[in-house]
Structure 1
Amino acid sequence: MRERWRQGRAARRAHHRRRGLRARLTRMFALVAILAVVLTTVLTVGATFRVLAQFGPGVGADTAWDAATWQQVASGAGRSIIRSAVQAAFLSALLAIFVAGLVTRQLTRPLARLADGAERLRAGDRSVQLPIPPRQDELRDLTATFNDLTLSLARQEAWRRGLVADIAHDLRTPLAVLRSEIEAMQDGVQPLDGAALARLHGEVLLLARLVTDLRTLSLAESGALSLEPRLLDAEEALRGLAEAYSVRAVEAGVTLTVHASSPLPLHVDSDRLRQALGNILDNALRYAAPGPVKLSAWADGEGTHLSIRDDGPGFRPDDLARAFERFYRADASRTRDPQGRASSGLGLAIARALVEAQGGRLAARNHPEGGAEFTLTFPVPSGEPPSPQTRMVTRAPSSSR
């Protein structure tokens, strides 16, 4: 894919070299120079022949001219030739001015539109869309890039507004609960006991988790996240995840099954990989329980794949398109799991950001046999061919850590 992209880019560059703005200018001014030379040559040579035709019959073997006559004839011929050369230079200058005017008009019109569009963009108008020039040249590419830029800025601004609104909403709910609980305690309506303090503590934990998740997401997407990649085995990573979540799986009535080829080397940050897998598995326990959840790993020509698949209801079409959006929940009423654990609504967005920060990709789909499936794909470390050996590890609901 990358090689085809490079070949296409090289072909586009070669096409621009042949038909681009620089080529147009080169051909245009070369044409002007050729026409100027031709015009000067024709007029000068024509003037020379006219002069020769004036005194040609008088030049013969029996004709003797004195010095004054020769001087007069030569002077007239020189003036005629100079006059023709001046006329040719004047006409060449007019031709160059005319052609330059046409060329600069073609150049400055889209540039003026770009300057006007940039001024409108600076003033806050994100709906600016400029007409695309018809010629396949750098100005067309620049205008198309400018239009893409304005569309991207409009999407980012809409995303920022939505993000601020979502953050305000998710912060407002626990703050409102804290305020109502504290005011009820101050008024004596609510007793200050262990249960009330536990509720307050839970809301504080939700706020802390939301702030931590926002910071992690920001660091991952900005490329400022500290990573310590090392070689590890995919099967061991999935087995460790199943061990860590075995108690929660029992409580939710979920069977965790690990199916992986061994060895499957990964060159990733183990803590960040565990965090991404944990967020995805937490999502499965929250929305797909009770039922089995399969954790799988395999390798092919694209890289090493880690998959978490549940047997829940899967995604609705709109939910699948927005699965990795910040604060998006497929079921707005299920902001907490059955055990009462709070959700910040950022788990899947953080998982994708953590995977992409390590050179991988995360995809979600509805499995053909039912349920939702999340697949993490990482490039295979060089010199580490995948092995066809396969092992099975199962965690049943009756087991405990």
Structure 2
Amino acid sequence: MRPIGMFSSLKVELSVLIAISTAIAFIMAWILLKFGWSGWVAMPLTLVVALGITYLFSRGLIAPLRQMRKAAEAMAEGDYTVRVNMATDSNDEIGQLARTFNEMAGELEHANQMRLDMVANVSHELRTPVSALQAMVENMADGVVEPTPANLESILNQTHRLSDLIAFLLDLSRMEAGAASLNIERFNVHDFLDETIEPLEIADAGHAHDIELHVADDIEMEGDQDRLRQLFTNIIANALKHSADGTRVLIECREQADRGLIVTNVVNFGSQIPLADRSNIFRRFVKGKSGPGTESGGTGLGLSIARWAALLHGGTVKVVDDDRGADFEIALPKYHIASDISDTSRSHAHVHAQGD
């Protein structure tokens, strides 16, 4: 019970508490003295009543703090599901603290779940290619299968998958550490995107996707081409992954001179991302749906790394409304502005299910 929790300041609440206790004590002492009570009896009795009222009110004030202490102790033991349910509707500092505490607890619970998911996902992603490689090599060693070009190519594909996963994990560690170095240079955007798309078209040959690139030949920008190639490769690969065979993926790039931005939209036609899911897909190890009831496969890191690479350049990646389909909009500064990379990479917000 917080009888005076409606005020917007704890100082005001304490002042009101003191005023109420003093007023009650004064009125009670006056009444007792008026009815002929001895001052030696009336004053101690009045003091006891005033202290009792103060204790009752103060207990209501600090009850949420006791609950927060118990919740913090539970969280220290690994229980991140606890929440403070007292004073959350109060306007004073304790109410604000209670709401902030619950937000922190929610973030810690999510981070812990992501840690558990990471262990499970990484274990699964590593086990699959390693098991396949082991089986292929053992069969060749036993003479069960011949080292034909097709079999060797299958082994090579599995090693590429392992290499990609290790690269993803290294990028993830850089994200967590907030450490990255950028090699800034000026380059032609059309040539850059064309070079980025080419290996994706080769890898996608069996799905017959048509990648359309619409960008002026004279647009230039500054940035780290390796990091930006990670960004665009992951976004475009995600679009291809969630497009039906034989459909097209549109890449539109334009310069917004008034804002000093290079804006690129990557659209895969047909599919849509629900509004409520548009930030979750950028979380680490969140996998989207490639079809009804199925996951997309992959590591669940691509879009998270893409957003990180954009943030390193002072840019953004988000899903925007588009009647044509899922539309990822990438906005990057045309000219690089030196900044604290560590702070930039740490500043990305949580963002929800067509993931990578």
Closer, same or farther: CA 181–131 of 1 in aligned 2, 3 Å = same
Match of 1:324 among 282, 286, 310: 282
After TM superposition, the structure 1 = structure 2 runs for residues 229-308 of structure 1, keeping only pairs within 5 Å, are 230=184, 232=186, 236-246=188-198, 249=201, 254-259=210-215, 268-285=223-240, 287-288=242-243, 291=248, 293-299=250-256, 304-308=261-265
Structure 2 stretches lacking a partner, 5+ long: 338-356
Q: Deviation at 1:169?
A: 1.8
Higher helix share: 1
Closer, same or farther: CA 365–323 of 1 in aligned 2, 3 Å = farther
1:25 to 2:10 alignment? no
For the residue of structure 2 that corresponds to 1:377, the secondary structure is strand
Aligned partner of 1:197 in structure 2 is 152
For the residue of structure 2 that corresponds to 1:331, the secondary structure is strand
Given that residues 230 and 269 in structure 1 are in contact (C-alpha distance below 8 angstroms), is that contact kept between their aligned partners in structure 2? yes
Provide the alpha-carbon RMSD of the alignment.
4.2
Query: Please, what TM-score do these two structures have when normalized by structure 2?
Result: 0.71
**Letter in structure 2 aligned against 1:237:** V
Q: Residues of 2 paired with 1:38 and 1:207: CA distance?
A: 81
Q: Residues of 2 paired with 1:319 and 1:93: CA distance?
A: 58
**Letter in structure 1 aligned against 2:109:** A
Match of 2:303 among 348, 360, 367: 348
After TM superposition, the structure 1 = structure 2 runs for residues 73-152 of structure 1, keeping only pairs within 5 Å, are 90=44, 93-133=47-87, 135-152=90-107
For the residue of structure 2 that corresponds to 1:182, the secondary structure is helix
**Letter in structure 1 aligned against 2:253:** S
Q: Residues of 1 paired with 2:331 and 2:229: CA distance?
A: 14
Q: Residues of 2 paired with 1:89 and 1:302: CA distance?
A: 74
Aligned partner of 1:309 in structure 2 is 266
**Letter in structure 1 aligned against 2:330:** L
Q: Give identity over the alignment, percent.
A: 24
**Letter in structure 2 aligned against 1:257:** L
Q: Deviation at 1:298?
A: 3.3
Closer, same or farther: CA 167–227 of 1 in aligned 2, 3 Å = same
Structure 1 stretches lacking a partner, 5+ long: 1-15, 47-82, 337-342, 384-401
Given that residues 273 and 354 in structure 1 are in contact (C-alpha distance below 8 angstroms), is that contact kept between their aligned partners in structure 2? yes
Residue-by-residue CA offset, 1:260-317 (whole Å, 9 max, x unaligned): 5976766x54432232122223334555465363331232777625223345433364
Given that residues 314 and 371 in structure 1 are in contact (C-alpha distance below 8 angstroms), is that contact kept between their aligned partners in structure 2? yes
Aligned partner of 1:185 in structure 2 is 140
Larger Rg: 1
Given that residues 280 and 308 in structure 1 are in contact (C-alpha distance below 8 angstroms), is that contact kept between their aligned partners in structure 2? no
Closer, same or farther: CA 139–329 of 1 in aligned 2, 3 Å = closer
Closer, same or farther: CA 87–247 of 1 in aligned 2, 3 Å = closer
Q: Residues of 2 paired with 1:126 and 1:119: CA distance?
A: 10
Q: Which segment is superposed worse, 190-199 or 178-187?
A: 190-199
Residue-by-residue CA offset, 1:233-273 (whole Å, 9 max, x unaligned): 7xx2343222443465486663543335976766x544322
Q: Deviation at 1:107?
A: 2.6
Residue-by-residue CA offset, 1:185-238 (whole Å, 9 max, x unaligned): 122101234543332232122111101112202322x252313375757xx234
